[in-house]
Amino acid sequence: MPKRVDHEAVRQEIAEALWRIASQRGLDGASLREVAHEAGISLGRLQHYFASKDDMLVFASNHISELADRQIRARLAGAFPDRPPTPYELLRVCLRGMLPLDDNTRTGILVQIAYFSRAVRDARMREPARKGIPPLLTWFAELLRTAVDRGEIAADRDLGAEAMLLLALTDGLTTYTLLDVHEAERAAELVDYHLGRLFQGRADTH
Amino acid sequence: MPKRVDHEAVRQEIAEALWRIASQRGLDGASLREVAHEAGISLGRLQHYFASKDDMLVFASNHISELADRQIRARLAGAFPDRPPTPYELLRVCLRGMLPLDDNTRTGILVQIAYFSRAVRDARMREPARKGIPPLLTWFAELLRTAVDRGEIAADRDLGAEAMLLLALTDGLTTYTLLDVHEAERAAELVDYHLGRLFQGRADTH
DNA sequence: CACCTTCCAAGTCAGTTGTATTGGAACCTT
DNA sequence: AAGGTTCCAATACAACTGACTTGGAAGGTG
């Protein structure tokens, strides 16, 4: 077999070129030629690695989800080098990681929004979200359960509801941050405010 | 002067045709020809009323904002025919009106998302949101202030923060509703849960 | 009635799009 | 070294886009 090329590596580079363009012009504004040019390759090469534009979009979606996931995990691992983190700390770092506080995350969110605006109209593109969110919610709820056991959260809270509220709240604040209604730092403050209310036993910990 | 045609009426009809298409195919998927066909007119007629596609998009954006605003006000007025509503009731009806609980509202939200996904990349399209949200937040905060005075909300709450949280929360829940993570009714329940927590003095009122 | 402005349908145009085709270079295997 | 497969650049193509031009119908006004 001739000419060995790392398919996956090329596809990832193309996906990242798409990423850069989609964050500025949206998914519809990203033509194959433009993505190829941004990736520094010819249209022919790009087409050799993706049979259709849809193929490229789907692959890039998965690739970007993986990157975001890896980034959050790295952040979580790096934030607590020695001391094991409390549920409060874990949640706070995780939620902050979803806010557009730095340029990298901000760009990633813009791409997610480009996919989101297509997913609300296309059931096929909704699948990744539909499958990925429940585990996250379960993890949130488990953290909250631990916090209740530690006496940091009132026992009468509905943890499944609180988990969903945390997620929705953070996303909503991101929305209004990107619309320039308030600064990203303000969104972070509001998440802290909400978390402080939830963790009444340690409301003094910011 | 010859041939009087109600310009505004024609423009509104075109805007509503755009609305129908954009909710299914997005703003980029709505070509002038398709909008004209949906409106039951020729491309030439459409172009007579809008100098450019951008013109049409901007007009439709304003028109749709007005419609949504009017619908919320009508709902508020109709929900309490005789008895003057409490702050809790007002907030609840208003927030419920922002959730995709019926097909009409759902379609409207899909159009808003189409505009939103463009606004996050185009500062010019951010202006309407940037200007429109603060008054809404102020109104929310005023309602909350009244509720505090009535002893329905704890005095140590940050009302500005709570107002923003309510808005962000509702938007975030709408997001996950449209992604099929949960049902619209579940989103409504979660809003009620949050409101019930906020209005501790009357947590029994659903 | 004659006139003139508004209105609008049809067609044209240059540009861009995703996809398909072609031809040959690169390179591993036998 | 021969052969066959992978790789990829160039080109072509049909479809569609937004914008523009043209010609004439509609219908008040003088």
Domains present along chain A, CATH in parentheses = 1-65 (1.10.10.60), 80-206 (1.10.357.10)
Strand D at less than 7 A from CB of A10: yes
The distance of Cα A8 from the centroid of its chain, to the nearest Å, equals 22
Q: Is B118 left (phi over 0), alpha (psi -120 to 50) or beta?
A: alpha
Q: How far apart are CA A123 and CA B117, in angstroms?
A: 18
Per the prediction, chain A carries an average pLDDT of: 94
Amino acid at B137: L
Specify the nucleotide whose C1' lies closest to residue A46 (CA).
Answer: D8
Interface test with A, best of B65, B158, B197, B199 (most A CBs within 10 A): B197
Q: Judge whether B136 is closer than 8 Å to chain A, CB to CB.
A: no
Q: How far apart are CA A177 and CA B120, in angstroms?
A: 9
Contact B180, A126 (CB under 8 A): yes
Encoded tokens for B171: 């938007």
- pLDDT at residue number B2: 63
Q: Indicate the residue of A130, A173, A178 with minimum beta-carbon distance to B179.
A: A130
The verdict on a CB contact (< 8 Å) between A190 and B134 is: no
Predicted confidence band of residue A2 (pLDDT cuts 50, 70, 90): low
Taking residues B172-197, what's their average pLDDT? 98
* pLDDT(B155) > 90: yes
Closest by CA to A53, choosing from A22, A35, A24, A32, is: A32
The residue type found at A78 is G
pLDDT grade, residue B200 (50/70/90)?
confident
Give the minimum alpha-carbon distance from A28 to chain B in angstroms, rounded to a whole number: 7
Q: How far is the CA of A48 from the C1' of C25 (A)?
A: 15
- Whether B190 and chain A come into contact, CB under 8 Å, resolves to yes
| pLDDT tens for each residue of A142-168 | 999 999 999 999 999 999 999 999 999
Q: Given a cut of 50, is residue A199 above it in pLDDT? A: yes
Helix ranges, A98-201 (H): 103-119, 123-149, 159-178, 184-198
pLDDT in tens, A107-124: 999 999 999 999 999 999
Lowest mean pLDDT among A135-149, A178-192, B62-76: B62-76
Nucleotides of C under 7 A from a protein CB: 4-11, 16-22, 25-29
CA of B155 to C1' of C15 (A): 63
Decide: B140 and B167 in contact? Cβ < 8 Å: yes
Distances (CA, A) of A176 to A13, A43, A84, B25, B33: 31, 37, 33, 24, 33
Query: How far apart (Å, rounded) are the C-alpha atoms in residues A167 and A165?
Result: 5
Q: Which of residues 41-80 of B touch strand D (CB under 7 A)?
A: 43-44, 47, 51-54
Segment B121-135 shows an average pLDDT of 93
User: Which residue in chain A has the smallest CA separation from B198?
Assistant: A197
Q: pLDDT band for B206, please (50, 70, 90 cuts).
A: very low
What is the sign of the dihedral through the CA atoms of A17, A18, A22 and A26? positive
Which residue pairs, CB below 8 angstroms and at least 24 apart, start in A147-150? A147/A86, A147/A87, A147/A88, A147/A199, A150/A86, A150/A87, A150/A201
Residues B114 and B23: beta-carbon distance below 8 Å:
yes
| CB half-sphere exposure, B172, CA atoms < 13 A | 23
The CA-based angle A10-A16-A17, given to 5 degrees, is: 90
Instruction: Give the rounded percent of residues in chain B with a pLDDT score beyond 90.
Output: 90
How far apart are the CA of A168 and the nearest CA of chain B, in angstroms?
4
d(CA B123, CA A180): 9
Find chain B residues with C-beta within 8 A of A112's C-beta: none
Q: Is the dihedral of CA A138, A140, A144, A150 positive or negative?
A: positive
CA distance B205 to B181: 27
> Cα separation of B64 and B59, whole Å?
9
**Cα dihedral A139/A137/B167/B101 (nearest 10):** -170
Which segment of A126-130, B28-32, B142-146, B154-158 scores lowest on mean pLDDT?
A126-130
pLDDT digit string, tens, across residues B80-115? 988 999 999 999 999 999 999 999 999 999 999 999
Of A121, A172, A190, the CB nearest to B171: A172
CA geometry: angle B193, B197, B199, nearest 5 deg = 115
Nucleotide nearest to A10 (CA to C1'): D7
Chain A CA closest to residue B29: A28
Cβ atoms of B202 and B133 within 8 Å: the answer is no
Whether residue B44 is predicted with pLDDT greater than 60 in this model: the reply is yes
Distance B49 CA to C9 C1' (A): 14
CB contact B53 to A (< 8 Å): no
A48 touches strand D (CB under 7 A): yes
Q: Which two tokens stand for residue B150?
A: 């009535």
